[in-house]
Amino acid sequence: MLDAIASAPGVSRAGVAARTGLTKATVSTVVDRLVTASLVREHGQERRSGPGRRGTSLSLSPDGPCGLGVEIGVDYLATCLVGLTGEVRGEWTRHRDNRDLPPEQVLSRVADALAEALADARRQDVTVAGVGVAVPGLVDTASGRVTVAPNLGWQDVDLAAEMHTRTPELPGQLVVGNEANLAAVAELHALRHEPASPSSFVHVSGEIGIGAGIVLDGTLFDGLHGFGGELGHFPVQPRGPRCSCGARGCLERLAGKDAVLDRAGVDDVDALVAALDAGDSTARAAVRAVGRVLGSTLSAVVNLLDVPTIVLGGVYARLHPWLSEPLSAELGDRVVGAPRRRVEVRRSVLGGEAAVRGAAAAALRTVLTDPDAYVLRARQAESRTTSSVGSRMDGGNGSSPAS
Amino acid sequence: MLDAIASAPGVSRAGVAARTGLTKATVSTVVDRLVTASLVREHGQERRSGPGRRGTSLSLSPDGPCGLGVEIGVDYLATCLVGLTGEVRGEWTRHRDNRDLPPEQVLSRVADALAEALADARRQDVTVAGVGVAVPGLVDTASGRVTVAPNLGWQDVDLAAEMHTRTPELPGQLVVGNEANLAAVAELHALRHEPASPSSFVHVSGEIGIGAGIVLDGTLFDGLHGFGGELGHFPVQPRGPRCSCGARGCLERLAGKDAVLDRAGVDDVDALVAALDAGDSTARAAVRAVGRVLGSTLSAVVNLLDVPTIVLGGVYARLHPWLSEPLSAELGDRVVGAPRRRVEVRRSVLGGEAAVRGAAAAALRTVLTDPDAYVLRARQAESRTTSSVGSRMDGGNGSSPAS
């Protein structure tokens, strides 16, 4: 029912009944509960064409709960709070190198970042419905374990358990996912508001590592174990530089953020963009070379999956003006059936924020798919709070709970 | 209903009714028609466990129609006749180089091969229900046009129209498909009779070109336009030898049949296998090098699609004993999360025959999905034959038809 309201904001109770096949009486009862739980709001008249009396308009509530997204980047930690209607209530990025640290140390940083974001949510009086974590590695999403994250140097880390241990008051459900897959889903939703938005694409996000998320017909394709879309270790140079994964000449060693900055002789992405803007020939040559390597790799992806669109995310989104031409040229040379099969190369809407936004959205999705569990948890939390400060629910007799 | 019988040979009319949700009366009427059309045969008692009276056993008829498969290989033409229960009624391979010929000349060869196969079908008194054609290129399956077939040098050839022009009496429906996709589907069906048969795999068939067919959860994955699974032009050596597609260093130039024979210094696959069997070091080194190139490429495919099994087809099926070790070693080095993620490398059941068998099966599938059209065509064909030789149907008055 929440899906029906989310996909048609402004719909009436009768409209929801028609869309879901439920009776109007059932819809009304459930809608009342959703309104009480601040998941849905009633606001003015239903928006639709055609004759007949207009019902009350229903939409997801902007005052409802937020999802809290966390991204464990290779050289940063990001968190964000996103509401049901997509509004960002807060967003923080901490630039810190997480490589070659024991996982425990990174997990402490994560717990600190979480504590800050949760404190901010409390200050804003926002309920956090769940936490989503984006990791640059292979994740067993069912258990929340990280099988391997080469760039972090992690092997078999039980992230979900570690996070529960470090943050016992973790609100709602915890979702752990691969950052590239979460980014691709976030981008899919963001693209829906753009002109000529594609429903099948490969989202390639360049950071120190390179991740890909494959979206086919509006659905994430992530393979048998959810390990699909690993593009960073694509073989480019059989005798190339050694990669964090143990192999040689992987794509991310030749076209990842560090490689581009190195080639261009600059320290960070801001400096790179400034140099490109100024027409610096070393910087431009560096990005052109990366564009060709990326294009050659993506030609293999297009030939294999027959997807019509590439979306450049992460650092590549900022480099899009200089990357897209050499990349498209290489696609034109290597995609079988080109030039009759044009592949569009577009810039991501969310850029470097896609993964953390996707993590927040994944946490919120647990509410949309199981609102009852959320309502129950919210009631339990309220009764804990009220009983510890003096219960409002039982008439305010002020008795302390037994602990 | 034919699907229900095909997937449970020995089922009774009541069993078909239970599986399809149709009434027993409807099932009986339709089954009678299918028996008359030689699509289904009744034979003994139904095979099932449990109590109750046994009905008459139904199964697809081995005396029913055949599918005629045609494969336009780069250096051969193959045809085969396959019956409803999978039995091969005839199989022919003509070794001829089809490269650098005008498409018309290859199409004449195809028409000759078709005529021979049809004549053989007539001699065996077998009805041909449809023709399937496998092409090593991108095919628009809806129209039967070949968009591009680099190894044949074809661009935009309306294969379906050309075949109808050259063989006006083409029986049944004509299906045109990509050879690697047809091979993968044929292999999927053949594997079902094997122990531990996989439902998700990439079938890689090595010929002069290299094609891949991707099967996920028992279904062919061929992308938005059906152009998916193109593996032959995977970029291996940026400055490698020029390929038929125009690019450089494509997989098939480095690991295709010609490349292996060249490296091994032999003329054909029989000579190569003999040299390998004899322990010839040049031949073994050649196959080892190809195994590593293939393994590196397939690591990218596994990382992208998260498939657990590689099936080696075509020439690679014969080379499996020597290819699998270097190929698996490279997968172990390059698949992210290995060795915990084991990728199985198995030999195809059908080998070089997979594509032509798949073409025949695709033709037969048109009968299974629309038996009425087949029955109607069969009746029309019979009335044409009988009326031209003197009608048996109208009492044998011997009058000639107006032409």
Q: What is the DSSP string of B273-331?
A: HHHHHTT-HHHHHHHHHHHHHHHHHHHHHHHHH--SEEEEEEHHHHHHHHHHHHHHHHH
Residue A123 in 3-state DSSP?
helix
Read off the pLDDT of residues B204-260 as tens digits, 9 standing for 90 and up: 999 999 999 999 999 999 988 889 999 999 999 988 999 999 999 999 999 999 999
B333 vs A246: CB contact, 8 Å cut-off? Answer: yes
pLDDT of residue B397: 41
Sign of CA dihedral B232, B238, B243, B245: positive
Spelled out in words, what is the top-level CATH class assigned to the domain B2-60? Answer: mainly alpha
Q: Which residues in A lie closer than 8 A to residue B235 (C-beta atoms)?
A: 296-297, 299-300, 334
Residue A143's nearest CA partner among A174, A106, A107 is A174
- B161 vs B167: CA distance, rounded Å: 10
Q: At A206, list the tokens.
A: 């360049």
A229 vs B301: CB contact, 8 Å cut-off? Answer: no
pLDDT of residue B387: 61
Give DSSP secondary structure letters for B236-281.
Answer: --TTS-B-TTS-BSBHHHHHSHHHHHHHHT-SSHHHHHHHHHTT-H
pLDDT of residue A392: 39
Task: Chain B: give the shortest CA distance to residue A230, in Å.
Answer: 5
A402 near B CB under 8 A? no
Is the confidence at residue B383, as pLDDT, over 90? no
B306 vs A222: CB contact, 8 Å cut-off? Answer: yes
- Helical packing angle, B13-20 and B24-36, nearest 10°: 120
pLDDT of residue A133: 98
* Chain B residue closest in CA terms to A293: B238
- A285 vs A290: CA distance, rounded Å: 9
Residue A383's nearest CA partner among A372, A371, A375, A391 is A391
Q: What are phi and psi of A325, to 5 degrees?
A: -70, -55
Which residues sit opposite B88 in a β-bridge? B82
Asked if residues A227 and B341 have their Cβ atoms less than 8 Å apart, the reply is yes
Is the confidence at residue A401, as pLDDT, over 50? no
At B341, is the pLDDT very low, low, confident or very high (cuts 50, 70, 90)? confident
pLDDT of residue A179: 96
Surface-to-core class of residue B36, CB atoms within 10 Å of its CB (0-12 exposed, 13-18 middle, 19+ buried): exposed
Other Cβ atoms closer than 10 A to B176: 26
Mutate to test the interface with A, among B306, B307, B341 (most CBs of A within 10 A): B306
Q: Which residues in B lie closer than 8 A to residue A135 (C-beta atoms)?
A: none
* % of chain B at pLDDT higher than 90: 71
Q: Which of B200, B214, B224 is nearest residue A224 as measured by Cβ atoms?
A: B200
B168: Cβ contacts below 8 Å, ≥ 6 apart: none
Per-residue pLDDT, averaged over B67-93, amounts to: 95
Other Cβ atoms closer than 10 A to A282: 12
Q: Which helix (H) or strand (E) holds A264?
A: helix A257-264
Asked if residues B350 and B312 have their Cβ atoms less than 8 Å apart, the reply is no
A233 vs B341: CB contact, 8 Å cut-off? Answer: no
Per-residue pLDDT, averaged over B101-121, amounts to: 96
At A43, is the pLDDT very low, low, confident or very high (cuts 50, 70, 90)? confident
Is the confidence at residue A396, as pLDDT, over 50? no
Domains A2-60 and A195-348 fall in the same CATH topology: no
Is the confidence at residue B276, as pLDDT, over 70? yes
Per-residue pLDDT, averaged over A180-208, amounts to: 93
A222: Cβ contacts below 8 Å, ≥ 6 apart: A178, A181, A213, A214, A228, A229, B306
Is the confidence at residue B69, as pLDDT, over 90? yes
Is the confidence at residue B49, as pLDDT, over 80? no
- Helical packing angle, A159-166 and A103-123, nearest 10°: 60
Asked if residues B158 and B190 have their Cβ atoms less than 8 Å apart, the reply is no
Mutate to test the interface with B, among A336, A341, A342, A343 (most CBs of B within 10 A): A336
pLDDT of residue B385: 65
Read off the pLDDT of residues B152-200 as tens digits, 9 standing for 90 and up: 999 999 999 999 999 998 999 999 999 999 999 999 989 988 888 999 9
B336 vs A235: CB contact, 8 Å cut-off? Answer: no
Q: What is the DSSP letter of A394?
A: T
pLDDT of residue B388: 54
Is the confidence at residue A400, as pLDDT, over 70? no
A14: Cβ contacts below 8 Å, ≥ 6 apart: A24, A55
pLDDT of residue A399: 41
A252 near B CB under 8 A? no
Q: Sketch the domain layout of chain B as residue ranges.
A: 2-60, 66-179+355-373, 195-348
A379: Cβ contacts below 8 Å, ≥ 6 apart: none
Q: At A79, list the tokens.
A: 């968190």
Per-residue CA distances from B23 to B1, B15, B28 (Å): 12, 11, 9
CATH architecture, range A195-348: 2-Layer Sandwich (3.30)
Q: Which residues in A lie closer than 8 A to residue B230 (C-beta atoms)?
A: 303-304, 306, 336
Read off the pLDDT of residues A368-380 as tens digits, 9 standing for 90 and up: 888 888 888 877 8
Read off the pLDDT of residues A301-327 as tens digits, 9 standing for 90 and up: 999 999 999 999 999 999 999 999 999
pLDDT of residue B390: 42
B334 vs A235: CB contact, 8 Å cut-off? Answer: yes
B231 near A CB under 8 A? yes
Is the confidence at residue B37, as pLDDT, over 90? no
At B4, is the pLDDT very low, low, confident or very high (cuts 50, 70, 90)? confident
Is the confidence at residue B32, as pLDDT, over 70? yes
Is the confidence at residue A383, as pLDDT, over 90? no
Which residues sit opposite B130 in a β-bridge? B67, B173
Lowest-confidence pick of A191-200, A259-268, B48-57, B270-279: B48-57
B133: region left, alpha or beta (phi > 0 left; psi from -120 to 50 alpha)? beta
At B68, is the pLDDT very low, low, confident or very high (cuts 50, 70, 90)? very high
Read off the pLDDT of residues A54-101 as tens digits, 9 standing for 90 and up: 888 999 988 889 999 999 999 999 999 999 988 999 999 999 999 989
Per-residue pLDDT, averaged over A134-160, amounts to: 95
Task: Chain B: give the shortest CA distance to residue A314, in Å.
Answer: 19
Other Cβ atoms closer than 10 A to B359: 33
Read off the pLDDT of residues A219-252 as tens digits, 9 standing for 90 and up: 999 988 889 999 999 999 988 999 999 999 999 9
Q: Which residues in B lie closer than 8 A to residue A227 (C-beta atoms)?
A: 303, 306, 336-337, 341
Q: Which helix (H) or strand (E) holds B378?
A: helix B371-389
Per-residue pLDDT, averaged over B68-79, amounts to: 96
* 0.80 exceeded by pTM: yes
* Chain A residue closest in CA terms to B213: A304
Read off the pLDDT of residues B362-381 as tens digits, 9 standing for 90 and up: 999 988 888 888 888 877 87
- B282 vs A262: CA distance, rounded Å: 42
Residue A61's nearest CA partner among A378, A372, A386, A364 is A364
Other Cβ atoms closer than 10 A to B278: 9
Q: Which residues in A lie closer than 8 A to residue B308 (C-beta atoms)?
A: 224
Task: Chain B: give the shortest CA distance to residue A338, in Å.
Answer: 9
Asked if residues A134 and A69 have their Cβ atoms less than 8 Å apart, the reply is yes
B166 near A CB under 8 A? no
Q: Which of A297, A301, A334 is nearest residue B233 as measured by Cβ atoms?
A: A334
- B9 vs B7: CA distance, rounded Å: 6
B239 near A CB under 8 A? no
B297 vs A235: CB contact, 8 Å cut-off? Answer: yes
Q: Which residues in B lie closer than 8 A to residue A326 (C-beta atoms)?
A: none
pLDDT of residue B402: 39
Residue A371 in 3-state DSSP?
helix
A233 vs B336: CB contact, 8 Å cut-off? Answer: yes
- The single residue listed with the structure tokens 């629309």 is B370
- A147 vs A136: CA distance, rounded Å: 11
Is the confidence at residue A397, as pLDDT, over 70? no
pLDDT of residue A385: 64
Per-residue pLDDT, averaged over B256-269, amounts to: 96
Residue A350's nearest CA partner among A9, A125, A86, A109 is A86
B224 vs A336: CB contact, 8 Å cut-off? Answer: no
B334 near A CB under 8 A? yes
Q: Which of A148, A245, A299 is nearest residue B235 as measured by Cβ atoms?
A: A299
Q: Which residues in B lie closer than 8 A to residue A300 (C-beta atoms)?
A: 233-235, 300
Residue B78's nearest CA partner among B102, B110, B101 is B110
- A69 vs A91: CA distance, rounded Å: 9
Q: Which residues in B lie closer than 8 A to residue A147 (C-beta atoms)?
A: 337, 340-341
At A386, is the pLDDT very low, low, confident or very high (cuts 50, 70, 90)? low
B139 near A CB under 8 A? no
Q: Which fold has domain B66-179+355-373?
A: Nucleotidyltransferase; domain 5 (3.30.420)
CATH architecture, range A66-181+355-369: 2-Layer Sandwich (3.30)
- A350 vs A80: CA distance, rounded Å: 13
